[in-house]
């Protein structure tokens, strides 16, 4: 990419109707198409600047608070990388070592961690009906603290995965698709199979498949959502995706056949998740600390999963795709048959062939997160990006 191309991308950000300043990024479907495209543009600009050895630091002090209420590797390090890229120090909020363990309220915690914070990244995906609500409660507390002039400015909250959506993952996935197919505009009409796949584990969140169908339906894609009977997602998200697909000129189809979903697909995304009904039953057991009840539910779910071991992305399944060469995608870590488990989501030979592609897919996430932070904290983001470009400060001597 030449410098004029970079300047053209910055100009494109400037031309967009963006209303993200002072706002949180929680669900992709709460953002306009122009705002989503601004995130994509900004992420690409930041990556290009770093590749050109140009510093992207827009702060020389300040913190980004990392609040992971579930385990993470890629997203945790992506958030830290994004924060550092922009010049922020990352401070983990370990609730077990904080006053949250002693009954401190969400309102108080949100305020206490935010005096010099510019961003708060939250992963809260284990409790259906609660993760998104918690992130919004944090945002409301920040609004109140700024209005009362307790906080000098408001950190932007970034959803690093909730019970409903995983926007940093899905948007990183889509920049990977744009790079692979030659642009976001090339995705219209592409067939994507978002399919359940067998896993020897239970309780995996719904937010990854929901994030994919919620975003793909904005870009006119032909979506085949596949799962065995009873493994549906949140019904409202399925309905939302169908409406968005119709509005964008795409298609949204639900099938109970993995083979049907893979037939002539351009992209396949085989990923296990727990049934919506199981996730609903799991929440009160988690709250009650009912170890025996959780164990019984786990055994029930694993036994049901085992009925569908043939829901695996095999070489034969890949032969059903367009030209037998659909792009395989996964948020990682994948359950790889014969490698990470005895039987899983994907055959080892398929995963190995696309392994570097999945790494490239994951490599967009730090830039997506950095873009979300920048757009939430700058009312003239294009001016900030242009200033970084013109300043041209080397990030390494």
Q: Which domain holds residue 380?
A: 3-165+366-391
User: Using 50, 70 and 90 to split pLDDT, how confident is the model at 396?
Assistant: confident
In a domain, 396, yes or no: no
Percent share of the chain, pLDDT over 90 = 93
Query: Rounded to the nearest 5 degrees, what angle is found at the Cα of 72, between the Cα atoms of 122 and 33?
Result: 55
Q: What is the mean pLDDT of residues 264-276?
A: 97
Q: What is the mean pLDDT of residues 227-240?
A: 98
- For residues 385 and 10, the answer to whether their CB atoms sit within 8 Å is yes
In a domain, 266, yes or no: yes
Q: Assess whether pLDDT exceeds 50 at residue 309.
A: yes
Instruction: Give the chain's mean pLDDT.
Output: 95
119 and 204 co-located in one domain = no
Q: Which two tokens stand for residue 186?
A: 């090339």
- For residues 123 and 67, the answer to whether their CB atoms sit within 8 Å is yes
154 and 217 co-located in one domain = no
> What would the pLDDT profile of 334-363 be if each residue is shown by its tens digit?
999 999 999 999 999 999 999 999 999 999
User: Alpha helices, DSSP H only, in 185-332?
Assistant: 207-216, 235-248, 258-262, 276-288, 291-305, 315-319
- What is the rounded distance in angstroms from the CA atom of residue 212 to the CA atom of residue 25? 16
Predicted local confidence at residue 94, as pLDDT: 81
247 and 342 co-located in one domain = yes
In a domain, 328, yes or no: yes
- What is the rounded distance in angstroms from the CA atom of residue 103 to the CA atom of residue 124? 18
50 and 72 co-located in one domain = yes
- What is the rounded distance in angstroms from the CA atom of residue 127 to the CA atom of residue 287? 9
Q: At what angle do helices 365-377 and 33-51 cross, to 10 degrees?
A: 120
In the 8-state DSSP scheme, what is residue 145?
H
Q: Assess whether pLDDT exceeds 70 at residue 97.
A: no
Predicted local confidence at residue 35, as pLDDT: 98
Predicted local confidence at residue 80, as pLDDT: 98
Please give the span between the terminal C-alpha atoms of the chain, in angstroms, as a whole number.
23
250 and 290 co-located in one domain = yes
Q: Phi and psi (nearest 5°) for 310?
A: -80, -5
- Please, which residues bridge with residue 313 across strands? 346
> What would the pLDDT profile of 130-149 be if each residue is shown by its tens digit?
999 999 999 999 999 999 99
In a domain, 397, yes or no: no
348 and 204 co-located in one domain = yes
Nearest CA to 179 out of 332, 325, 362 is that of 362
In a domain, 80, yes or no: yes
161 and 207 co-located in one domain = no
Residue 51, SS3 per DSSP: helix
In a domain, 316, yes or no: yes
Q: Assess whether pLDDT exceeds 70 at residue 252.
A: yes
Residue 143 CB-half CA count within 13 A:
9
> What would the pLDDT profile of 26-70 be if each residue is shown by its tens digit?
999 999 999 999 999 999 999 999 999 999 999 999 999 999 988
> What would the pLDDT profile of 375-393 be if each residue is shown by its tens digit?
999 999 999 999 999 999 9
In a domain, 188, yes or no: yes
152 and 223 co-located in one domain = no
Q: What is the CATH number of the domain that holds 298?
A: 3.40.50.1370
Q: Assess whether pLDDT exceeds 90 at residue 4.
A: no
Q: Assess whether pLDDT exceeds 60 at residue 289.
A: yes
Q: Max Cα separation, the chain?
A: 63
Domain total of the chain = 2
327 and 351 co-located in one domain = yes
Predicted local confidence at residue 226, as pLDDT: 98
Please tell me the pTM assigned to this model: 0.96
236 and 345 co-located in one domain = yes
Predicted local confidence at residue 179, as pLDDT: 97
Query: Rounded to the nearest 5 degrees, what angle is found at the Cα of 126, between the Cα atoms of 173 and 364?
Result: 20
- What is the rounded distance in angstroms from the CA atom of residue 137 to the CA atom of residue 120? 13
In the 8-state DSSP scheme, what is residue 129?
T
Q: Assess whether pLDDT exceeds 50 at residue 1.
A: no
151 and 261 co-located in one domain = no
Q: What is the mean pLDDT of residues 202-215?
A: 95
Q: What is the mean pLDDT of residues 246-251?
A: 98
In a domain, 219, yes or no: yes
Q: Which two tokens stand for residue 191?
A: 């067939």
- For residues 376 and 24, the answer to whether their CB atoms sit within 8 Å is yes
18 and 120 co-located in one domain = yes
Q: What is the mean pLDDT of residues 176-195?
A: 97
Predicted local confidence at residue 2, as pLDDT: 58
Nearest 10 degrees: CA dihedral of 20, 21, 27, 30?
-40
């Amino acid at each position: 990419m030449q410098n004029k191309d970079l300047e053209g991308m910055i100009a494109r950000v400037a031309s967009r109707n963006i209303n993200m300043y002072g706002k949180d990024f929680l669900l992709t479907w709460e953002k306009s198409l122009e705002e989503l495209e601004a995130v994509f543009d900004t992420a690409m600009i930041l990556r290009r600047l770093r590749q050109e050895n140009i510093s992207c630091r827009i702060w020389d002090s300040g913190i980004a608070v990392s609040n992971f209420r579930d385990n993470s590797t890629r997203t945790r390090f992506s958030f830290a990388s994004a924060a550092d890229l922009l010049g922020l120090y990352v401070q983990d909020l370990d609730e077990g070592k904080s006053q949250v363990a002693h009954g401190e309220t969400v309102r108080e915690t949100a305020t206490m961690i935010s005096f010099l914070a510019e961003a708060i990244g939250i992963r809260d995906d284990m409790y259906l009906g609660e993760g998104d609500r918690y992130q919004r409660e944090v945002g409301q507390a920040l609004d109140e603290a700024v209005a009362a002039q307790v906080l000098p400015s408001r950190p932007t909250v970034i959803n690093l995965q909730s019970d409903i959506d995983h926007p940093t993952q899905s948007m990183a996935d889509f920049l990977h698709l744009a790079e692979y197919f030659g642009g976001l505009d090339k995705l219209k009409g592409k067939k994507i199979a978002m399919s359940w796949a067998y896993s020897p584990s239970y309780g995996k969140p719904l937010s990854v498949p929901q994030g994919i169908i919620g975003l793909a339906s904005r870009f006119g894609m032909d979506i085949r959502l596949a799962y065995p009977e009873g493994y549906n997602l949140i019904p409202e998200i399925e309905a939302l995706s169908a409406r968005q697909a119709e509005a964008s000129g795409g298609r949204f189809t639900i099938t109970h056949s993995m083979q049907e979903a893979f037939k002539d697909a351009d992209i396949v995304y085989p990923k296990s998740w727990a049934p919506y009904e199981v996730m609903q039953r799991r929440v009160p057991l988690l709250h009650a600390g009912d170890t025996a009840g959780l164990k019984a539910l786990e055994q029930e779910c694993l036994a049901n999963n085992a009925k569908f071991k043939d829901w695996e992305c095999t070489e034969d399944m890949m032969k059903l795709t367009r030209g037998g060469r659909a792009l395989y995608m996964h948020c990682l870590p994948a359950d790889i048959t014969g490698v990470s488990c005895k039987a899983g989501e994907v055959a080892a030979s398929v995963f190995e062939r696309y392994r570097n592609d999945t790494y490239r897919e994951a490599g967009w996430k730090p830039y997506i997160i950095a873009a979300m932070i920048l757009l939430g904290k700058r009312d003239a983001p294009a001016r900030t990006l242009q200033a970084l470009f013109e300043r041209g400060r080397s990030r390494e001597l």
